[in-house]
Every structure is written in structure tokens, then in C-alpha cells.
């Protein structure tokens, strides 16, 4: 991994590009969570509100899996091996919600 060797010569402090990136991601995650709180208290309940929570959660998941778990920087075949089976979860949600809504 190129950036690992690059980081080898630097310390663990703020000058290290990897650490810098991680701090940026942490700030993003905190801001997204804060935004969720604002929405929770200010917006009246409804489909739109739930949709916003859903989107914000997906964004948080993207940062955690992509940056913290490093998946974004893995080879393509590994990324797809993990992401394609996720389609089953989407199918699962659609199937059960459709089933639940028919009563």
C-alpha cells in the first residue's frame, strides 16, 4: 500500500496525511449525527423525516465502511464481493415491507 509506506516516515501526529483524513472523517460523522438530532427535534413526523434519517444513516455507514474499515481503498474485486451480497438486504427490506403493508 503506497500511502502506508509514505506514512512510515512520518509520526502519528497531525502532519501525517492518514491521521488528517481520519480526523476529517470523524468530524463528518459527528456533524451528520448532530444533523440527525436537529431533524429529530424540529421536523414533524412523517415519511419525509424517516427518509432523511435513512439517507443520513447510509452516509454515516459509507464513511465507516469506506474509511474506517478501509474498504474504499481495497481492490475492486473485494469491494464488489462485499457490496453485491448487500442487494439481498435491499430485497429483504422491500419483500417484508410489501408483505407487511398488504394487511
Partner 1 sequence: MATITVNKDSVWNGGQEPMKASYGKLMMWFFLLSDAFTFSALLITYGTIRFMNPAYTGPREEFTFSPNYWPIPEKVYEAIPFFHGVSAPLVFVGIMTFILILSSVTMVLAVEAGHRMSQKEVEKWMLWTIVGGFAFLACQAWEWSHFIHGTDEGTVMNDGTVFHGANLIKNQYGPPPFANLFFFITGFHGTHVFSGVILNIIIFYNVVMGVYERRGHYEMVEKVGLYWHFVDLVWVFVFTCFYLL
- State the residues that interact with partner 1 by CB under 8 A: 1, 4, 7-8, 10, 12, 16, 18-19, 22, 26, 29-30, 33, 36-37, 39-41, 45, 50, 53-54, 56-57, 60-61, 64-65, 67-69, 74-75, 77-78, 81-82, 85-86, 88-89, 92-93, 96-97, 99-101, 103
Would you put residue 4 in left (φ > 0), alpha (ψ -120 to 50) or beta? alpha
Cα(101)–Cα(103) distance, integer angstroms: 6
In the complex, minimum distance from the CB of residue 22 to partner 1, in angstroms, rounded to a whole number: 6
Amino acid at each position: 500500500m503506497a500511502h502506508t509506506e509514505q506514512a512510515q516516515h512520518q509520526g502519528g501526529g497531525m502532519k501525517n496525511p492518514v491521521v488528517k483524513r481520519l480526523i476529517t472523517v470523524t468530524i463528518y460523522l459527528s456533524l451528520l449525527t448532530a444533523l440527525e438530532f436537529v431533524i429529530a427535534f424540529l421536523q414533524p413526523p412523517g415519511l419525509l423525516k424517516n427518509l432523511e434519517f435513512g439517507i443520513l444513516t447510509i452516509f454515516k455507514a459509507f464513511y465507516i465502511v469506506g474509511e474506517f474499515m478501509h474498504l474504499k481503498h481495497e481492490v475492486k474485486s473485494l469491494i464488489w464481493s462485499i457490496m453485491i451480497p448487500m442487494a439481498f438486504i435491499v430485497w429483504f427490506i422491500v419483500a417484508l415491507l410489501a408483505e407487511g403493508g398488504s394487511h
